[in-house]
């Protein structure tokens, strides 16, 4: 029997329709070898499951929760209301308001219940995961070295950019 690695990061989203955006977070966690779990939890459609997830997050060993939602995006804030595990909120682009509604729903938290809020869409999801990696790297030298290398590679790629002039 193989031993299950306990997830350190939880990735949750309000709908499977958020996956194309939120998979950018999952891809980063996979790239860094961070144990994670990913699932649909909707504050509006699954409130009891959402509270249970938030209440158990810390005792289950999660160190960060990446929560993405679109429109009336209450999921990140309501999870943050029920746990002290850092919540990283990702506004998913919405059908009618291009995600500006999602962004404002997530970012305008009352003082005392923070959600670290990222940019709308794919870059926001990837950056949320990179921030989760950085949080974990504070107590993990190997992960810190990996993150340093990622940034060096990124710098080299930018330095190698040319223009068609
Ligand atoms: N904002 C929320 C929440 C929530 O905050 O709990 N639950 C679902 N949704 C959002 O509704 C949008 C449309 O969902 P459907 O595609 O399932 O109709 C999605 O972007 C989802 O995140």
Ligand 1 interacting residues, C-beta cut-off 6 A: 13-15, 17-18, 42-45, 69-75, 92
Q: Per-residue pLDDT tens for 54-85?
A: 999 999 999 999 999 999 999 999 999 999 99
pLDDT at 155: 98
Residue in 83, 81, 103, 86 with CA at minimum distance from that of residue 94: 103
Q: Is 151 annotated as a binding residue?
A: no
Mean per-residue pLDDT over the chain, rounded: 97
| 132-141: average pLDDT | 98
Q: Is 52 annotated as a binding residue?
A: no
pLDDT above 70 covers what percent of the chain? Answer: 98
pLDDT at 4: 78
Q: Name the packing angle between helices 122-137 and 141-159 (round to 10°).
A: 140
Q: 90 C-alpha vs ligand 1 centroid, how far in Å? A: 12
Whole-angstrom distance, CA of residue 94 vs CA of residue 99: 5
ipTM of this complex prediction, to 2 decimal places: 0.97
pLDDT above 90 covers what percent of the chain? Answer: 97
pLDDT at 94: 95
- Beta carbons within 8 Å of 156's beta carbon, 6+ residues apart: none
The structure's pTM equals 0.97
pLDDT at 128: 99
pLDDT at 1: 54
Coil, strand or helix: which one is 68?
Answer: strand
Q: Write the residue with the smallest CA distance to atom 3 of ligand 1.
A: 14
Q: Which atom of ligand 1 is nearest to the CA of 92?
A: 20
Q: Is 60 annotated as a binding residue?
A: no
């Amino acid at each position: 029997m193989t031993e299950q690695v306990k997830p350190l990061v939880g990735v949750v989203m309000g709908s499977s329709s958020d996956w194309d955006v939120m998979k950018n977070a999952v891809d980063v966690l996979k790239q860094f070898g961070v144990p994670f779990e990913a699932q649909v939890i909707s504050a509006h459609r699954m409130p009891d499951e959402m509270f249970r997830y938030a209440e158990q997050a810390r005792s289950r060993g999660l160190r960060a929760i990446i929560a993405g939602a679109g429109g009336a995006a209450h999921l990140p804030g309501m999870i943050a209301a029920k746990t002290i595990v850092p919540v990283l909120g990702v506004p998913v682009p919405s059908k009618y308001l291009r995600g500006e509604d999602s962004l404002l729903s997530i970012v305008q938290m009352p003082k005392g219940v923070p959600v670290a809020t990222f940019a709308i869409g794919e870059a926001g999801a990837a950056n949320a995961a990179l921030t989760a990696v950085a949080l974990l790297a504070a107590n993990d030298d190997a992960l810190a070295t990996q993150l340093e290398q990622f940034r060096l590679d990124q710098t080299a790629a930018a330095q190698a950019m040319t223009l068609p002039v």
